Amino acid sequence: MAKTTDNYSAFNDINLSNARSENESYEDYRKRLKQNKDILKLYNTVGRDVFKEMFPGGVGEALKNLENVEEEKVSQEKVGEAK
């Protein structure tokens, strides 16, 4: 029987380090730590398989999509105010 390998990486493109990077503000650092804590708590609560169903492209992709949606919402609000 051939063994299949799953290449799923849930935390791809996520900085899970507790160290603050040189170009990161303190507010961004604290926000990232809280976000990491929440992500890891969810992962440990639901397990790998359910987490994979929730975030098939990984958490990094979901966060990027969330940022894009928020940027679109802000730009739409600005257009709405200009009317």
65: which 2 tokens? 């999509």
**Do 8 and 51 touch, CB atoms closer than 8 A?**
no
pLDDT digits (tens, 9 = 90+) for 1-59: 667 777 788 888 888 899 999 999 999 999 999 999 999 999 999 998 998 999 888 88
Can you give the pLDDT at residue 80? 67
31: helix, strand or coil: helix
Q: How far is CA 66 from CA 63, 81, 83, in A?
A: 5, 23, 26
More confident residue, 34 or 62: 34
pLDDT digits (tens, 9 = 90+) for 64-75: 888 888 888 888
pTM confidence score: 0.73
The pair phi, psi for residue 71, each rounded to 5°, is -65, -40
CA distance 35 to 45: 15
Longest dimension (CA), the chain: 65
